[in-house]
Chain A
Amino acid sequence: MSVMMNTSRRNLLRGVMGGAAVTVGLPFLDCFLNTNGTALASGAPLPTAFSTFFWGCGLNPGRWEPAKTGAGYDMNIETAALAPFKSRINTISGMKVFLDGKGARPHFTGEMAILTGDVPREQPNYASLDSIVADTIGTRTRFRSLEVTGTGKATDSLSRRSASVTNPAEISPAALYTRVFGADFRDPNSADFKPDPRVMVRRSVLSGVTEQREALLKQVGANDRQRLDEYFTAVRQLEQQLDLQLQKPEPLAACSPSAQPTDAEIGTEIDSVVANHKLFAQILAHAVACDQTHVTNIVFGEATSPLRKAGTAMTHHIYTHEEPMDPKLGYQPNATYFMGRIVESLAFYLATLDSIKEGDHTLLDRTMMLAHSETGFAKIHALENIPMFICGGCNGKMKTGQHLKLDGEPVTRVGLTIQQSLGVPVEAWGTMSLNTSKPLSELMV
């Protein structure tokens, strides 16, 4: 979307503030549905929705990888809850992170490699996968992306716009609901619409800010220029939101947001985390159905998995290190309990997406979700065989229902595949030994 950065634009806005119809000279938004709800009004297919679902401390090796490779595999014990969706799930096992001699930071390096293609020494150096994807598929919606976290800290988000800017995550479902479906939500299915003059005024105030971009960027040194530019990018995103608020939205049959929810207690207690996750899943699903965004990110619990049962001192994370292996069961019972709750929650999310009908299909059919953890075996912080799944019908842009056993392959092949299938113009991705130019050909269409 090209943005005119001069005063004539502000005059344009000023000129029409008193008028009824508002044309602000922006490209026509083309993600509106036809009457069947099966395609856009323009005839183009429905947009793909990209999601990420992250959890810490992995799964138990040997209990989640399917026995069979290729199509038609069966889910193993720990992923049994995902079985109803297996034809729309690609399970990817065996992939690893190459350190190139750098130190591995537990509960950090794994997800950095998967999402940024890089092993940072201190702070992350690159934007995250979802941001890269959002720059291609998320520029036309009210929100470029929506981030939520289940364990109560806004800084737990893994969505990075750049090395220095993390998109903070919502910690409260009620707050997320207000943000998406509150006062600023334009219901696509409501009968009347009148552009709000106060929104027009706000819009012109923001153009007054973005007008100064070039001059201000000249004033700062090279190392500060990028940060200032990120700020201006953020301003433009809000400008875009306001522009959308000034336009009458096209009706969307699948858009029917439910009522404002009440949060369960926000914290690390597993029952509350699961309860809030369910609320988040529903709100995000409706946000996508109502075309408020195309990119959603869920951190079920942050990487050091502080999940715990009420009344106990022990967290999921501590169990993975200190709980003895049960000789009869062959795994750590308490640690595995949490893994089970996490996988059930992922299944709930997929079911929620699947419950939203869009013509003959469901929202899950046009979703491409990367569900992943950050370690192959939490007890020893292993960086091999990290559980990774691509869930959803992927809107036809990827083959589904495959188990790929890719022992020793770099995790970045997954990120590369996702980018290429969504039309991001990239030939290779990742740094040093994580750099790859080989997408997963088994999945490409």
Chain B
Amino acid sequence: MTRLHSLTRPLGLAAGLALMTAAGHASASETRGYVVSWFGVSTYYGGESDCPDGLNPMSTEFYKRELLRLGYPEAEATKLLKDFPGNPGKPDGEYIKIMGTRGDKKTNVYAHPESSYDPGLHEVKGKLAYGFNLDGKTDSPISFTDPDTGEKGIKNQYYRTLGCIRSFRAPPPAHPTLAQAQWDVLRDEMPAWLIEISGMTDPKNSDNVTVTITKATDHASRDATGAIRADMSFMVDPDPRTQNVLHGKIKDGVLTTEPADIRIVADPFLIPEFHWTKAQLKLKVGEDGSLKGILGGYHDWYALYWSYAESGWVEEHSASVDMPALYYSLKRNADAYPDATGQNTAISTAYEVEAVPAFVMRKDDKNDKKVSDAGKAAQPQQRVEATMGGWLRKLGW
């Protein structure tokens, strides 16, 4: 396999200097590869003003509330929750069965949330959120404003539902606990997600780029700090369910793409498969070769509900997500693709995406020969140097 782009290999001092300036305006068109290093739902953290009705209760609280509603006396409700969380099937987990069937006529509330009343999830009342103006309207009552750019008409109803649940809130740079926990498990097991950007004549400004999102045959690997290892090699999985080609441009170092469908096979621990429509990307292209930004689009809301509810009590108690309340809130906040009854079937969403450089490779189907392709990491010498000053800069100082 031959190396691409000997341009990237400095040939002594002169070439090195030439490449330093090339970072600003490379003349040849080139493709760069990346592996996704963080993916999690985007929930803007604005402090107390986000949730004037208060944050949603912890699971111990709403379980107590439900037990009382079901008619258990106070003392007995306390006793049932004494060993919270307890173990399913054991005496200390007696309440789990009860909560699981708290719908009418003891129906499983996770599978049939409408058998329960609507407990009334506290929702976001703040005005700021990340995302995209998916429907083009700037003056609709559900619009948010982008906290960084001030852009109006941002649609992110998913955030409106999730944003006052504790496990979805965290001040940056921390990530919300549930999203962090999911990603931590997934990145060691789920096949890695790969991004390629081709046609990047200039990482700061390129009029016409193609962004390909695929998945790899292997999961990502970690470096010594536990972060996703950069410059790793991946083979693209030819699975047709994750082959996305988007078109866009880069302006002032920010990549944006035109609306399109995006489908990514994920993992049941998160969701078996994502399928966004009218989806867009907005990613800052870093000087160290990284990508950071958001992916947004409409998503089937019931699939999102089920991605939590399918684990039943597990996620409900550990992440304090009151499942029927979640269901009703998503249903209420869904804002696109109405069905015959007029109920919207999709909800506007936004997700944080970060990626580090990677080599993306493909096999040639015809004769199974490995053909290296389009992906290539950003030139190492352009990344921040491994010196004291370097890592300080990396930390953003």
Contact = CB atoms under 8 A, between A and B. Distances in A.
Whether chain A touches chain B in the assembled complex (some CB pair under 8 Å): yes
Interface of A: 311-313
B21 interface: no
Nearest to B392: A311
A40 to B, nearest CB: 52
Contacts, number: 4
Contacts of B387: 313
B391 interface: yes
Interface of B: 387-388, 391
Contacts of A311: 391
A311 B388 CA distance: 9
Nearest to A314: B388
Nearest to B387: A313
Contacts of A313: 387-388
A324 to B, nearest CB: 16
Nearest to A313: B388
B225 to A, nearest CB: 10
A428 to B, nearest CB: 51
Nearest to A312: B388
B391 to A, nearest CB: 7
B394 to A, nearest CB: 11
Contacts of B391: 311
B395 to A, nearest CB: 9
B392 to A, nearest CB: 9
A311 B391 CA distance: 9
A313 B385 CA distance: 13
A117 to B, nearest CB: 42
Contacts of A312: 388
A313 B388 CA distance: 7
A311 B225 CA distance: 11
A312 B387 CA distance: 9
A313 B391 CA distance: 11
A18 B391 CA distance: 68
A312 B390 CA distance: 11
4 contacts: A311-B391, A312-B388, A313-B387, A313-B388
A413 B16 CA distance: 60
A312 B389 CA distance: 10
Nearest to B388: A313
A334 to B, nearest CB: 13
Nearest to A311: B391
Closest 4 CB pairs of A and B: A313-B388, A311-B391, A312-B388, A313-B387
A312 B391 CA distance: 9
Contacts of B388: 312-313
A385 to B, nearest CB: 33
A312 B392 CA distance: 10
A367 B391 CA distance: 46
A309 to B, nearest CB: 12
B393 to A, nearest CB: 13
A430 to B, nearest CB: 44
B388 to A, nearest CB: 6
A313 B387 CA distance: 8
Nearest to B395: A311
A392 B128 CA distance: 66
A403 B266 CA distance: 71
